[in-house]
Amino acid sequence: MRFPVSSRAALPGLALLSLLLAGCANRGLTRYDAIVKQASSQDYLAAVKVLKKERAKLYGSQSALLYNMDVGLLYHYGGVYDSSIVYLRRAVDVHEELFAKSVTNEAASLLVNDNVRPYRGRSYEIVWLHLFLAFDYLALDRADDARIEMRQAEIFLNEVKRKAGGDAKAFRDDAAFRAFSALVYEALGERDDAAISIYAAVKNLRQRKQPVPPGMAAYAWRLLDAEDRPNDIRELDLQPPAVKPARFPGGGELVVIGALGRSPALGETAFWGTWVRDGVLVYYYRDANGKVVSQALPAPGLPQSEYEKGRGRNTRSGTTLHLKWAMPSLREVPSQSRLLRVAADSAGAAAGEAWGDTRELLQQDLDEGRTAMLTRTVIRVAVRTLAAEKTKAQMRTDNPIVNLLLSLGTDALADQLEQADVRLWFLLPRTLNVARIPVPAGNHTLQVAAENAEGKVVRVETLQAHVRPGKTRFVFFNSLK
Amino acid sequence: MIRVSTRIAGLLMLTLVLAGCGKKVTRVSSNSTIDLSGRWNDTDSRLVAEEMLRDCLNSSWYYTYQAQKKTPTVIVGSVKNKSHEHIDAETFTKDMERALINSGKVEFVANKGEREQLRDEKADQGRNASVETRNKAGEESGAELMLIGSINSIVDQEGSKAVVFYQINLELVQIESGRKLWIGDKKIKKYVTKNSTKF
């Protein structure tokens, strides 16, 4: 058997590349499996150790942003707020550095897959990055620094809004972030900024036709009324709350922020099949239940201009092409922790309400980015299929069995390259909840619990907090179960 | 021929790449102005402190004290950072303290944190130092005037371009009466551009 010279040179390289790529599992999926167990069992510092030890394997060189966000968030959950600030601030710096896009990385992603591009974070993730930094500062009683994070997120959101232009479906604002900003501004005594923030929070929910949590609506009415903004109250259709919150003379307020459940993850839906020119496109994919589904579609015909080229190889009807493409898809993560309950020693109990839900934000992000992602996938698959066909043609021999093996090998190699970009800050909670309790000034012992949908306690923690007269004290709790 | 030129081009490329890999450190004067990121930096802190306090010490309140043959005693209070950046307020307040002391026009007392350290030391001396060398408690100079202020910022950004505007407000307040003797501000405007692509 004799190979043409180019084929003989190409074969060892092809084999080596196949071997190398065979070891390249999708890091996004591996990372999830590696840390989710510790995170779910609230063993955050053990999870940090795993991440630090396995950084190269789990993140590679293109996910520095994600690495710092993950470690920072785990430190936050673990109550090590100063370390959390270090990592989350690094993430902010990395995000800023990633403003410039690398031409080579972008070009490579059109040949290989989107994982070769550095992870820049989803818009809502960057907002929540600043939000969690603000939470860290609040936990350390540094409200001035928390305000800086709110301002940085506002600047980022202004830019997001500008880029979104007239696209009504695009992510433009984050109600949860705005509402928490209002709490921070109010805690700092900046009621005007607080009123503007809560206005933006409610407006965002109204525009997206989402329900406004009753506590948030009452808070918005109170802030806007205090700032003499009747037009805003009317525009947002807010009603005065039935019950006025009780205040202790000379007392303060405890604000418990609970991170409950886990954000959905991203899975990979792979499609593979055969395209018969001028015939059919038969493709397969695994559905949400893991079942392989097959579909057959009439293959797109060739344009007249191609027919007119004659009987060249490029226009031959009946030619079969192997195709594979992979897309990220939302993977639900069941969460037991649904409701936040707080009992303060002297001031009674309060139930929390969810102000932010990462599922909604992720779904919106996926919907918004779908067209761009599809375009990139189509270009990538087309380029790769053409390259595979060219390679097969160059390696063709007189032996049909060798040809078959080479053809299968080339297709397998091309398949290995196709991976969906499933990178995501999946350590975020499913919901961010808030419970507010007016308390007398002094030391307080709190029982903070997460309950499931049936009202059964999933996790409970006893926390201590000192409240100064006229001040707000922020306390943090999490239950990722 | 083609192969040789390809190799030369490759070699040149490698040289260029490697030339960018090393780390080089150059010592520069602490007064030099170097802007890298466009954020608030040491130059902003130093220039603002020097310029504003020059203005402060050349205002009418100072001549009133001079006419009464009194040297005002000043303390630097808090400078609230209401900007969008984490600014090291201590660097800024230290720059102000230095400018005040070096002016020779005012007497200057230690700030709250420093006073606490001094009191600890005096308490320790009260227990352990000889009577002759012991510094007495209750003999501190009380400041008459306090310098307080805030740093604010406005950011106008569009894509790779941003205009960052800082306004620093300082006020000199008479501690006893609460009267404001001087209000000054300093504005800094920066135009920052970023590369949107790289190789």
Out of A38-42, A427-431, B124-128, B172-176, which region has the weakest mean confidence (pLDDT)? A38-42
Q: What is the dihedral of CA B41, B46, B49, B55, to 10 degrees?
A: -120
Q: Given an 8 Å threshold on Cβ–Cβ distance, is B80 in contact with A144?
A: yes
A347-356, A399-408, B7-16: which has the highest mean pLDDT?
Answer: A347-356
Question: Do residues A451 and A341 lie in contact, with contact meaning Cβ atoms separated by under 8 Å?
Answer: yes
Tell me the chain B residues in contact with residue A158 when contact means C-beta distances shorter than 8 Å: 157
Q: Given an 8 Å threshold on Cβ–Cβ distance, is B199 in contact with A102?
A: yes
Q: What is the pLDDT of residue A20?
A: 47
Q: Given an 8 Å threshold on Cβ–Cβ distance, is A101 in contact with B83?
A: no
Single out the residue of B93, B85, B82 nearest to residue B146, CA to CA: B93
Residue type, B73: T
Could you tell me the two tokens for B102? 């070096």
What is the Cα–Cα distance from A280 to A301, expressed in whole angstroms? 9
Report the chain A residue with the minimal C-alpha distance to residue B164. Answer: A155
Going by the DSSP 8-state scheme, the letter that residue A297 receives in this structure is E
Question: Do residues A199 and A221 lie in contact, with contact meaning Cβ atoms separated by under 8 Å?
Answer: no
**CB of B195 less than 8 A from some CB of A:** yes
Could you tell me the two tokens for A110? 């059109």
What is the Cα–Cα distance from A300 to A285, expressed in whole angstroms? 20
Residues A138-161 have pLDDT tens digits of 999 999 999 999 999 999 999 999
Q: What is the pLDDT of residue A381?
A: 81
Q: Within a domain: residue A337?
A: no
Q: Given an 8 Å threshold on Cβ–Cβ distance, is A145 in contact with B86?
A: yes
Q: Evaluate the CA torsion angle A187, A215, A128, A48 in order and state its sign.
A: positive
Our count of domains for chain A comes to 1
Q: Evaluate the CA torsion angle B136, B139, B143, B148 in order and state its sign.
A: positive
Mean pLDDT score, A298-325: 60
Phi-psi region of A60 (alpha: psi -120 to 50; beta: other; left: phi over 0): left
pLDDT exceeds cutoff 60 at A17: no
Report the chain A residue with the minimal C-alpha distance to residue B155. Answer: A155
Helix axes A123-139, A64-77, angle to 10 degrees: 40
Residue type, A162: R
pLDDT exceeds cutoff 70 at A100: yes
Tell me the chain B residues in contact with residue A103 when contact means C-beta distances shorter than 8 Å: 197-199
Q: What is the pLDDT of residue A26?
A: 64
pLDDT exceeds cutoff 50 at B150: yes
Q: Within a domain: residue A61?
A: no
Residues A174-187 have pLDDT tens digits of 999 999 999 999 99
Mean pLDDT score, A88-93: 96
Structure confidence at residue A288 as a pLDDT band (50, 70, 90): low
Q: Given an 8 Å threshold on Cβ–Cβ distance, is B194 in contact with A100?
A: yes
The whole-angstrom distance between residue A473's C-alpha and the CA centroid of its chain comes to 29
**CB of A155 less than 8 A from some CB of B:** yes
Query: In which order are the strands placed within the sheet that holds A431-439?
Result: A353-357, A431-439, A252-260, A472-479
Give Cβ neighbours of residue A189 (< 8 Å, ≥ 6 apart).
none
Mean pLDDT score, A270-289: 74
How close B166 gets to chain A, by Cα (Å)?
Answer: 14
More confident residue, A431 or A332: A431
Size of interface A-B (CB pairs under 8 A): 42
Single out the residue of A59, A23, A43, A7 nearest to residue A425, CA to CA: A59
Out of A110-114, A434-438, B43-47, which region has the weakest mean confidence (pLDDT)? A110-114
Structure confidence at residue A21 as a pLDDT band (50, 70, 90): very low
Q: What is the pLDDT of residue A18?
A: 44
Q: Given an 8 Å threshold on Cβ–Cβ distance, is B82 in contact with A147?
A: yes
- The parent domain of residue A402 ranges over 269-329+369-417
pLDDT exceeds cutoff 70 at A7: no
Mean pLDDT score, A225-244: 92
What is the Cα–Cα distance from A43 to A63, expressed in whole angstroms? 23
Structure confidence at residue A319 as a pLDDT band (50, 70, 90): low
Out of A48-57, A284-293, A297-306, which region has the weakest mean confidence (pLDDT)? A297-306
- What percent of the residues of chain B are helix, what percent strand, and what percent coil, each to the nearest 5? 35, 30, 35
Tell me the chain A residues in contact with residue B83 when contact means C-beta distances shorter than 8 Å: 148, 151
Tell me the chain A residues in contact with residue B197 when contact means C-beta distances shorter than 8 Å: 100-103
Phi, psi of A23 (to 5 degrees): -85, -5
Q: Within a domain: residue A374?
A: yes
The pTM for the full model equals: 0.83
| Mean pLDDT value across chain A | 84
Report the chain B residue with the minimal C-alpha distance to residue A137. Answer: B86
Q: Given an 8 Å threshold on Cβ–Cβ distance, is A152 in contact with B159?
A: no
Mean pLDDT score, A177-203: 95
Using CB atoms, which residue from B82, B157, B159 is nearest to A155? B157
Disruptive mutation site among A82, A85, A89, A99 for chain B (greatest number of B CBs within 10 Å): A99
Residues A202-224 have pLDDT tens digits of 999 999 899 999 999 999 999 99
Q: Given an 8 Å threshold on Cβ–Cβ distance, is B197 in contact with A103?
A: yes
pLDDT exceeds cutoff 90 at A303: no
Helix axes A191-207, A214-226, angle to 10 degrees: 140
Question: Do residues A407 and A424 lie in contact, with contact meaning Cβ atoms separated by under 8 Å?
Answer: no
Q: Given an 8 Å threshold on Cβ–Cβ distance, is B157 in contact with A147?
A: no
- What is the per-residue burial (b if ≥16 Cβ within 10 Å, else e) of A269-302? bbbbbbbebebebbbebeeeeeeeeeeeeebeee
How close B33 gets to chain A, by Cα (Å)?
Answer: 22
Give Cβ neighbours of residue B60 (< 8 Å, ≥ 6 apart).
none
Q: What is the pLDDT of residue A310?
A: 47
Q: What is the pLDDT of residue A12?
A: 47
How close B62 gets to chain A, by Cα (Å)?
Answer: 33
pLDDT exceeds cutoff 70 at B18: no
CATH topology of domain B39-150+166-185: Rossmann fold (3.40.50)
Out of A61-70, A362-371, B33-42, which region has the weakest mean confidence (pLDDT)? B33-42
Single out the residue of A402, A409, A395 nearest to residue A1, CA to CA: A402
Could you tell me the maximum CA-CA distance found in chain A, to the nearest angstrom? Answer: 95
How do beta strands B197-198 and A101-102 pair? parallel
Using CB atoms, which residue from A99, A104, A144 is nearest to B196? A99
Q: What is the pLDDT of residue A308?
A: 55
Percent of chain A topping pLDDT 90: 48
Reduce the DSSP state of residue A353 to 3 states and report it: strand
What is the Cα–Cα distance from B52 to A390, expressed in whole angstroms? 71
Q: Within a domain: residue A250?
A: no
pLDDT exceeds cutoff 60 at A10: no
Per-residue CA distances from A411 to A320, A327, A417, B139 (Å): 12, 18, 10, 88
Disruptive mutation site among A147, A157, A163 for chain B (greatest number of B CBs within 10 Å): A147
pLDDT exceeds cutoff 80 at A457: yes
Q: Within a domain: residue A114?
A: no
Residues A246-279 have pLDDT tens digits of 778 888 999 999 999 989 988 888 888 777 766 6
pLDDT exceeds cutoff 60 at B47: yes
Helices (H), A60-188: 64-77, 81-97, 103-111, 123-139, 143-164, 175-187
Using CB atoms, which residue from B155, B157, B196 is nearest to A101? B196
Mean pLDDT score, A360-380: 87
Q: What is the pLDDT of residue A412?
A: 77
Phi, psi of B75 (to 5 degrees): -130, 145
Report the chain B residue with the minimal C-alpha distance to residue A105. Answer: B199
Report the chain A residue with the minimal C-alpha distance to residue B153. Answer: A151
Unique residue bearing structure tokens 């949107």: B196
What is the Cα–Cα distance from A453 to A165, expressed in whole angstroms? 39
More confident residue, A468 or A101: A468
Residues B110-125 have pLDDT tens digits of 888 888 999 999 999 9
Unique residue bearing structure tokens 């995000």: A95
- For chain B, the structural domain boundaries read 39-150+166-185
Using CB atoms, which residue from A102, A104, A148 is nearest to B84? A148
Helices (H), A257-399: 304-307, 358-395
